[in-house]
Structures are given as C-alpha cells and as structure tokens.
Amino acid sequence: MVTTPTENVTKGLEDVIAGTTSICTINPANESLLYRGYSATELAEHAIFEEVIHLLVEGRLPKKRELKRVVKLLVQERKLPKKLVKVLKQLPDTANPMSVLRTAVSFLGAIEDNKQYSIDETKQIAYSLIGKLPFALMTWYHVSRGQSVPKVTKTRSYAARFLQLVTGREPDELEERIMNASLILYAEHEFNASTFSARVVTSTLSDIYSAVTAAIGALKGPLHGGANEAAMELILKFSSPEDAERGIMDMLSKKQKIMGFGHRVYKKGDSRSYVMKHYSKDLAERKNQTKLFEIAEAIEKTVKAQKGLFPNADFYSAVAYYLMGVPIPLYTPIFVLSRMSGWSAHILEQQSDNRLIRPRALYHGPQQLDYVPNDRR
C-alpha cells in the first residue's frame, strides 16, 4: 500500500522504530544492555570475547566444543592475503586508521568473487573478517612506522593477541581481562548508525564486504565513533584533579562539548561505563598511575554536577586503553574490531528476512515549476 508522508517527522529518526531484531535491546526498566537476552555487563565480567562472537553470530552461547571451534577458526583466519599486505604497505603513514580498515575490507571484497553470498557463506566471511582485521590494522600501523609486526601467541585469547600485536609483549591477566571486557561491551548496540548503515546496504542484496565498508564509514564520523580518542586527549590536558575541575568548568562556561558524556539512548547512565571505570581503576592502581584515573573521575564528577550528564562507554575505556599502552589513534579502530561481531549478526539477520529499506522523506522544496528555456532565464 502506498502511503503519503505526514508531518510526523523525527529529526535523526530519534525513537523511531525502523525494524525488528532478536540480537540486542536496551531494557527500558533499568536501561541495561542485553545481547540476545544476556546482560552485556555480566558477559563482560564472566565471558571471553569469542563466546560473545558466537552468541551474536550463531544466536546462542557456545558449548565447549563450539567455543574451541570458534577460537581455532579465528586463529586460522588471521592470515592476510599477500595482495592485501602489499596494499597496506602502500598506504601512507598519515592515513586515518579507520580509512585503513575500510580499505582493507573493501579490498578483500574486491579479490573475492563478486556475487550474492548465501547465509552460510556470509557467516564464514564474517568470521574471516573478525580474524583478519586486527592483523590488517596492525600490519599497516607497524610497517608505516618502520617497525616489524610482532608475532603473537596462538594459544592466547583474541583480546590478548590484539594487545600483543599492539605492544609487542604478552599482556598480563588483568590487561587481557580488561580488553576482553571492552571488546564485549562494544560488540553490539541495536540500530546504531553504523549497524543501520550495514543493514541498509544488505537490504539491497549487496554483499557483506560492502555492508561492513559502509558501517566503518559511518563509525568513522565523530558523532558515532571517536569519542574515546577525544576523551583521552581531554584527560591528558590536565595535571591534577583540581586542574581538571577548573578546566571543565571553563569549557562548560564556553558551552564547549565534553566528549565521552551523554548518550542518545541512556538517560540514567551507561552501565558499560561503570564496568570500564572499575577496570581502569584497578589498572591504574596496578601500574601506579592513579593520578590519571583521579583526573578522569574529577571530570566525571564536574560534568555530572554541572550538566547532569553521565560518562558513556567511551570515557573510561579510553583510560584503560591508555594504561595498557594502546596508542590513541587506535581507540576507534578497536571499536571496529569489536563491533564486527554485531554488524555480522545484523547483516545475517537482514539477509534471512529481507525487505529493501527505503524510507520516505517529507518534501520542503518548491512545488512544480514551469521550465524556462535557457535564453529566457
């Protein structure tokens, strides 16, 4: 049935229901984030990222043999095609790491058969991309800086392997647990901008490579990704908690935006932030860098008192990444490595029950005009 657009337009589609999903929701009672019914924060405390990948992609938590299969598969899929390595080495060292990931996915799609993949084939590509992207990112990063790419321990978790790729050393147990938690908490978040972009592309019967390329492009925008990088740069500006309080008060008086605070959905606080705050505090104490955490906490208290805003998942994740030795330009790419699992789940869900996503717009332009020949205008 054809319908005519009405005046009921919500800018930014805020609170507009754009489809159905069984992957993720936010419990309206307590604003807790649920992955297929499981609390994301509980998963972050007790699971490893590979379990959550299986939960999102396959629809259930894995049994022991299924988890072993996923762990083994992700290790096997880490190997990059030689053609991709050649492309990565040609990218400039000034490139945005998000552009590097976008290029890597697009190139992988270009060297594969250009066709409409089945659901099973899409699922296998999803695992392949989840396994390859950390190595693609860090191959470019190290080579572009004249460094060799660190070798990783195959027996460690996805989170530990990534940290080893970044720092060149094996992480300790606390660092591995924190990176696991961060990857889990970033894995999925319903119909956010990048996920919706992926579903729109999938709805056209395009392939997973195109959908993920679009999703990375959406996440590259600072209104979606990048808040953790901006938050860390802000924290590093201050020398003490007192300096931070004064600086934030000055920024607020000038109506400047404080990155890492507020959320379109969460109004009472982002539960993911509290998990990362706890971990970043533990790590700061372990590394004897408590001043950094105290500065972050002073910023949180000031923003909450003055604006009533709570930190989102990005704010304390930034502190944890910094303390683990992760370079700031890699913070948003970590978001990609994590969200690949959620994007994959949505691409598969859209593929399994597809209808072209094609909304209408409320027209505000001129009504029908008569054409005037060029010599009479």
The residues carrying an active-site annotation are 224, 263, 314
Collect contacts of 8-12 with beta carbons under 8 A, ≥24 apart. 9/362
Is the distance from CB of 293 to CB of 181 less than 8 angstroms?
A: no
Element housing 305 (H / E): helix 290-307
- List the Cα angle 75/90/334 in 5-degree steps: 45
Token pair 């593929």 in the structure block, residue:
351
Helices (H), 47-118: 49-58, 64-76, 82-90, 97-111
Beta bridge partners of 35: 24, 38
Nearest Cα to Cα of residue 289 among 359, 215, 236, 343: 236
